[in-house]
Structure 1
């Protein structure tokens, strides 16, 4: 990216959604303020689409592993257009569309983003469609290809196959010639069948027995965002040489107490399994893994994998699953719907409807 000392900035009034503390969705606050001029290496990004992921649902409860102290502006990722650049940022970025992974801050009409974190969006891809496959798409791609290294002809289980990550993961797997067993509420089973997935009701107390009936010889990988005690059942589904990929602790979402304790307990269990001579492996997927060691390498990997996902969107191999769209002013309703567990795909937030 070409560097220049030129900066372009005008006064921008940003509209933001603030999470003031542990509140119900109705407790979100809307505020406006003058956005500071972009600093060295920064740009102003005008939001075109952001969304609700499971992280914000945990943050609302103070349960996300490393969330900032209240109050703060949530929003894990977004698609937007650069409207201004700060010193030592390329002025040619102005007017171009990018995606960015922010962890927090994206529920805003405008925000400051480091230019180094921008990932280009090709022409012809809708902003809302691209939004659904930033964190969800990169997470699914990396878990399937980098962590579990699933191969054509293998069989996997995806818990929560109707969710933002799950609905992307099952499509990527099916495109790669992988047999997929997916858990979801019965209302989503027809959709999963259309995607080539063998659905199992996750309300069924014998859910794991139903999965074993479909794959009596075991499976090659299980992707588990639930955690908790039932992760033992996920581990037992694996055949020799199989891989468990854990990427969340949804089971503890409503529990009181230390937000880090469920994750630390999960780490201990996964490490204990890896110490056993049973031919299986267990991993905890962390989107941010490696960023502290080398931010440049981490960002290059993010951009590379996001580009792979967007290519599949562009050629029709991957269909972004948009559950619903809401305006930024209606984020309360967006969060409420996302938490209802009734939707398939991702709830997207746009500036206006």
Structure 2
């Protein structure tokens, strides 16, 4: 009789992708209020790319198991959890720990995946989808007829952002390298090549009165340019510091600089708003509210997928044993969509 074991990917330190390690061990038992999820799909996001360099601003100490989100089936429930969850396909935000064949989670943190959505398909919309939805609807509060600028429109978050915005009747300008422009045009996006064009000048040509919102994951100088491109009453939502991914020095400083700018801009009496979005914002102080919003907003994203308003963009599916290949592919900048890991 074969014994099921747990397989996980360990990040031992700031290493090249080949330095990621596979570790085998027993499958853990679910404790009170917990569920054991058999992972079906987990993603390689920009957060893990920063983590392997030691550059994610609040990552845990090495060594640890990466994996920002996952989709899987509930394989076991602990005391206090209803048996109705057994066998249910669920999604969860984890920040770390998702790159494993079996993951223990609080039952209150899992969100049911609607019937008809596959595991890899749903996985592309977990952290990317909740981030896109909340930035669009809870921060920028977009309305039909507005114009927005999405940096990295071909990326994991960007791809979902532009589709949700278009489905809401919003015009989208998206930055990306030229190889992705045709795909963006098919989504109804006006592309701008950040490598060969003067992005602020080109955006001003397309939106002379400014844009109603900018979604900026780049950080650095880009945040300042994004703020200056806003129309009266517009909103800047910064949600990362991709420009500093390969820098050395403090991993917190790039985010602290963005926060400093955001706080200063918020104080200006010019009718514009600025936010630094963190998907985990408020969890430490209002966990029940965080969970309620996560369930509601991710549910909206999954329904948008079922209606065909969002098309899952799976760039590749690779097993956990090929995590180094998956990381290199995700970091290559050549893919359109998300790289997904499977057991």
TM-score by length of 1: 0.95
How big is the shift at 1:35? 2.7
How big is the shift at 1:257? 1.0
Partner residue of 1:320 out of 308, 312, 315: 312
Partner residue of 1:196 out of 162, 175, 188: 188
After the TM superposition, which residues 1-353 of structure 1 pair with which residues of structure 2 at under 5 Å, given as runs? 12-204=4-196, 206-351=198-343
Q: Kindly provide the CA deviation profile for residues 288-338 of structure 1, in whole angstroms up to 9, marking residues without a partner as x.
A: 111111211111100100110111111111111111111111111111000
How big is the shift at 1:350? 1.2
Cα distance in 1 for residues equivalent to 2:309 and 2:28? 41
How big is the shift at 1:206? 1.2
Q: Kindly provide the CA deviation profile for residues 99-138 of structure 1, in whole angstroms up to 9, marking residues without a partner as x.
A: 0111101111111111111100111111111000011001
How big is the shift at 1:155? 0.1
How big is the shift at 1:265? 1.1
Cα distance in 1 for residues equivalent to 2:252 and 2:197? 28
In structure 1, the gaps of 5 or more residues are: 1-10
**Bigger mean CA offset, 88-97 vs 262-271:** 88-97
**SS of the residue aligned with 2:130?**
helix
The number of residues matched between the two structures is 342
Cα distance in 1 for residues equivalent to 2:247 and 2:197? 21
**Bigger mean CA offset, 221-230 vs 153-162:** 221-230
How big is the shift at 1:251? 1.1
How big is the shift at 1:205? 5.1
Cα distance in 2 for residues equivalent to 1:209 and 1:49? 41
**SS of the residue aligned with 1:230?**
helix
Cα distance in 2 for residues equivalent to 1:99 and 1:39? 19
Cα distance in 1 for residues equivalent to 2:286 and 2:258? 26
Q: CA RMSD, aligned part only?
A: 1.2
Cα distance in 1 for residues equivalent to 2:217 and 2:196? 17
**SS of the residue aligned with 2:280?**
coil
Cα distance in 1 for residues equivalent to 2:62 and 2:82? 34
How big is the shift at 1:92? 2.1
Aligned residues of 2:216 and 2:222 also touching (Cα < 8 A): no
**SS of the residue aligned with 1:130?**
helix
Aligned residues of 2:214 and 2:236 also touching (Cα < 8 A): yes
TM-score by length of 2: 0.98
1:3 corresponds in structure 2 to none
